[in-house]
Structure 1
C-alpha cells in the first residue's frame, strides 16, 4: 500500500510521456519476469529430463554389458560342448581300435566297425548341427537385444543432445533479456 501511494505520488510529478514510459516499462518488466519464470521452469524440467535420460542410458549400458557377458558365457559353453564331443569321439575311436569290443560276447568284424563308425559320425554330425542351430538362435536373439540396446542408447544420446541445445537456447534468451533490460535501465532518461 505504501509503495503504491509512493508510486502514485511519484507519478503525479512526472509528465504524461514519462508516466506512459514508466507504465510501459513496468508492463515489459512484468512480462519479462513471467517469461523468465517460464524459462526457469522449463530449464528445471529439461535438467530433470536430462538426468532421467542419463540414468536410463546408464541402465541400458549395464544391460548391454550383461548381454555381452551372457554371450561370452554361451560361447564358452559351446566351446566346452565341442571339447566334450571330441573327447567322446576319441574315447569311442580308442574303443573301436581295440579288438576287445564285444557284441553279444564276440569281437566286432571290420564291417561292423565301419557301420559303428558311420553311425557315430552321423550322430556326431547331428549333435553338432543341433548344437550350432541352437547356438545360432541364441546368438541371433542376443545380437538383436544388443542391437536394440545400442539403438536405444543412440536415441537417448540424441535426446540428451536436443535437451542440451534447448537449455543453451533458453540460457541465451535469458542472457538477452538480462542485457536488454540492463541496457534499458542504463539508457533510461
Structure 2
C-alpha cells in the first residue's frame, strides 16, 4: 500500500523493486540488492531500523506503520464516531439550507474520498468532511489520498457548547504540508476564528455555503 500511494513509485511488476533500491542508493547512499527489497515487500524480512526510517522517508509514509503495521491512532478514530459526526454535521447544515445531498453509491469509484455530493450554485460538488482532532496548538486532520478530487471541509469544535466552525482545507496546504500515514494524509494547523493556518498557507473559515465553491 505504501508503494501504491506514492506518486513516483512504478507499478508492481514494472520496475518497482529496482526503483526502490536505486532511490535508496542515490538519495541516501544505501547499498541494497533487488532481492533485499523483494524480501521486504513480500514480508519475508524487515529492514533494520536505520534503513526502515529512510524507506519511510522515501515513500512518504509513517515509519511505525511501515515497519510494524501499526496505524496511527487517528486512523482508527477517523472511521469511527468523529468522522461520522463530521459528515452528519455537514449534511445537516446543507439540508437545513434546502440543498439536496446524496451519498456515493457502493460502485462509485470515488467512494473512498467522497462523503457527500451536493449541488450548490448550479454546480455539483464532491465533498469530504473531516473532524479536527485537538492537537498541540491547533487541530489535526486526516484527509483522503485522493484529496484533489474533492472539496475537503474541516469540522472543528469551538468549545464545550456544542458549536463548530467549518474550514476549507486547501489543496495547496495538503499537497505542501500533508504527511502520508498509511491510507490517509495527516495535516495539522493552528486554528483561529478566521482560518486554519498550515504554516504559510491559511485555509479560510467557511462563513456561507457558497464559500464551498
Q: Between Structure 1 and Structure 2, whose CA radius of gyration is higher?
A: 1
Q: Could you tell me the TM-score, scaled by structure 2's length?
A: 0.20
Q: Which has the higher contact order (CA 8 A, sep 6+)?
A: 1
Comparing both structures, which one devotes a greater share of its residues to helix? 1
